[in-house]
Structure 1
Amino acid sequence: MNMEYGPEAKNALTKLIQGKPLTIHVYDKDPYDRLVGDVYCNGIFVQEKLLRKGCAWHYEAFDKRSSFAQWQKEAQNAGRGLWANPNPVEPWEFKKKERNRRNAERDQRMPMI
């Protein structure tokens, strides 16, 4: 939520799915042993909708589906959603910077022995 365009993406997802039944087709586990799946809401493929609106990133390192890359590219080319920013920060890079920032803050608070 602290990322640029995070609140807007959350609002788009909330508007799409809130109070509606979801169907999740689990097809894999990620390297952290979490379930991975495709999400549908009233017949709408949620990942496709969010990618096309520029409300989500396609993480190609974990998902090689060319359709996802194409939907993201369409949003980029049209400057939709997060792609209105000419230099958006990837979520994985944002998380790394936040982790480094928190570690630096923690290190500054620790007493020297």
Structure 2
Amino acid sequence: MPLAASLFCLVVAIGDGDTLTVRCGAPGTYTQVRVRVAAIDAPELRQAFGQKSRQNLARLCFRQNAALQWLDEDSYGRKVANVRCNGTDVASAQLRAGLAWVYAPYAQHHPHLAPLQHQARSSGAGLWSQKRPQAPWDYRRRHAR
């Protein structure tokens, strides 16, 4: 699928709070694609709030049509995309609920996200209710195999 293309696909699986699998195409010629939600990083599944983040993404998107705007491909081969489910911007919803961090290296084109994280942090929403929440990139570095 070309980058910067937009299309509608059915969400068929949720990996974690920032990764989902979609089925795109016409009946009989479906393609499944793993998608990373652009500009956010959700807690790992074994990390505090990892399961809640995944559950919230499932509530927003599972078995729903998702509007996807392809932006890039990451080092794991996932397509990186802006994702909307039922008209809701998924990155914004995950941040608003306190279930993801803004991923600064890839958020330069998403300036609307930082204030949402700040608001969630100020109100103690989700992972921000912890005394010292650990960013997923720090968690991954400390728990590398």
What's the TM-score bracket when you normalise by the shorter of the two chains? 0.7 to 0.9
Structure whose residues are more often strand by fraction: 2
- AA aligned to 1:70 is P
Unaligned runs of 5+ in 2: 1-44
Q: Equivalents in 2 of 1:22, 1:34: separation in Å?
A: 16
Change (3 A) 1:18 1:80: same
**Number of the residue aligned with 1:40:** 84
User: How many angstroms does 1:46 deviate by?
Assistant: 0.8
The DSSP-based 3-state class of the residue aligned with 2:101 is: coil
Q: Where in structure 1 do 4 or more consecutive aligned residues deviate above 3 Å?
A: none
- Structure with higher RCO (Cα < 8 A, 6+ apart): 2
1:90 aligns with 2:132: no
Range that drifts further, 59-68 or 69-78: 59-68
User: How many angstroms does 1:37 deviate by?
Assistant: 1.2
2:61 to 17, 28, 34: 17
Point out the structure with max Rg over C-alpha.
Answer: 1
The DSSP-based 3-state class of the residue aligned with 1:2 is: coil
User: How many angstroms does 1:34 deviate by?
Assistant: 4.4
The DSSP-based 3-state class of the residue aligned with 2:112 is: helix
**Number of the residue aligned with 1:2:** 46
Structure whose residues are more often helix by fraction: 1
User: How many angstroms does 1:29 deviate by?
Assistant: 3.6
1:78 aligns with 2:123: yes
Give the count of matched residue pairs.
99
User: How many angstroms does 1:86 deviate by?
Assistant: 2.2
Identity of aligned residues (%): 29
User: How many angstroms does 1:36 deviate by?
Assistant: 1.8
- AA aligned to 2:138 is E
Q: If the length of structure 1 is used for normalisation, what is the TM-score? A: 0.80
Q: Equivalents in 2 of 1:35, 1:8: separation in Å?
A: 23
Q: If the length of structure 2 is used for normalisation, what is the TM-score? A: 0.64
1:69 aligns with 2:114: yes
User: How many angstroms does 1:67 deviate by?
Assistant: 1.0
Unaligned runs of 5+ in 1: 103-113
